[in-house]
Amino acid sequence: MEKNILEIKDISIAAYLYASEQVVLAGKRRLQNGDTIFQFTPADKGEELISSYWNLTALPIQPKKLFSCLRDIKDMIFKE
């Protein structure tokens, strides 16, 4: 794994990071078991956003935007 890449398996967190527009979805990879790992950069900003997510201190994101990003993430998983 590249040093400045944060890899995420959880689609809810991936959608939140994608919707935040503070990190870039740099890529994705499929594991042998079929799981998809999403790669975000920069890793330090992604880790900061995830920490605020779990601590319930994340900046608000419009629901429509979040659910649209969740749909995009799911499309990336299932349309391969």
How far is the C-alpha of 7 from the C-alpha of 73, rounded, in Å? 14
**Percent of the chain clearing pLDDT 70 (strictly above):** 96
Tens-place pLDDT, residues 39-58 = 999 999 999 999 999 999 99
**Percent of the chain clearing pLDDT 90 (strictly above):** 89
What pLDDT is recorded for position 66?
96
Average of per-residue pLDDT across 13-30: 96
pTM of the model: 0.89
